[in-house]
Amino acid sequence: MSPATIIGLVLLLFWGAVTLGTDAPGLVHLLLTAGVYLVIHGLVTRTTPRGPRSER
């Protein structure tokens, strides 16, 4: 797992805990946006091919 994916999952867990545990203000939902972005970014960059290998 890439660091972006791990950080994204931690943000999502923190967002869920704060949302269920308190009356979450609007800014807390930025954690949801950032977490989803980082998880998707981590998955896409992990599976993106690096390009053709040059053979010499």
- Residue 18, judged by CB atoms within 10 A of its CB (0-12, 13-18, 19+), counts as middle
Report the predicted TM-score, pTM, of the whole model to 2 decimal places: 0.74
Going residue by residue through the chain (56 aa), what tens digit of pLDDT does each one get? 788 899 999 999 999 999 998 887 888 889 899 999 999 998 888 766 667 776 65
Instruction: For residue 10, give both structure tokens.
Output: 């931690």
